[in-house]
């Protein structure tokens, strides 16, 4: 699991030109595949996997998806709360609500072709905590 998280953190990215709508669409696609247990479809959402990683195990599998569903439950909803500018990848952060685990935060980046560059299933940082505080104040 640590290897999986490390890979997602270290993937090179090129964020440019996408809108919040594009990120919402990616999260919606993730939600659909995740809730249906289709880890292989989530894995197919990733693009530009470096050559040295192509022979490695998939970034997301059906078994991992099943384990996450067991622990966190289904992804009931998500809401964009901002960009974590303290992260070198400037990830787009979403408040995610799971049926078992409740409120969490997830984040992602997209390549120019709208494939996933990085995806952090559950993430936090001081910047993300501040985004959540600001988001709650706005209502």
- For residue 122, give the CATH number of its domain: 3.10.450
- Residue 19 belongs to what domain range? 2-138
What length is written for the chain?
A: 139
59: pLDDT confidence band, cut at 50, 70 and 90?
A: confident
Q: How many domains does the chain have?
A: 1
Closest CA to 45 of 93, 98, 111, 125: 111
Residue 25: DSSP 8-state = H
CB count, 10 Å around CB of 133? 10
47: pLDDT confidence band, cut at 50, 70 and 90?
A: confident
Order of strands, edge to edge, in the sheet holding 75-84? 75-84, 91-98, 102-110, 116-120
Q: Which residue has the tokens 């289709």?
A: 38
Q: What is the pLDDT of residues 86-121, one digit of tens each?
A: 999 899 999 999 999 999 999 999 998 999 999 999
What percent of the chain clears pLDDT 70, i.e. is strictly above it?
81
* Choice between 59 and 43, residue whose per-residue pLDDT is larger: 43
């Amino acid at each position: 699991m640590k290897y999986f998280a490390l890979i997602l953190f270290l993937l090179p990215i090129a964020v440019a030109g996408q809108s919040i709508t594009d990120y919402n669409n990616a999260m919606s696609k993730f939600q659909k595949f995740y809730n249906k247990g289709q880890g292989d479809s989530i894995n197919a959402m990733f693009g530009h996997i470096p050559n040295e990683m192509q022979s490695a195990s998939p970034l997301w599998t059906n078994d991992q998806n099943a384990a996450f569903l067991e622990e966190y439950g289904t992804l009931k909803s998500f809401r964009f709360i901002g960009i974590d500018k303290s992260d070198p990848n400037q990830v787009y952060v979403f408040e995610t609500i799971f049926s078992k685990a409740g409120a969490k935060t997830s984040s992602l980046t997209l390549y120019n072709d709208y494939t996933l560059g990085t995806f952090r299933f559950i993430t936090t940082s001081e910047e993300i905590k501040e985004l959540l505080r600001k988001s709650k104040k706005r209502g």
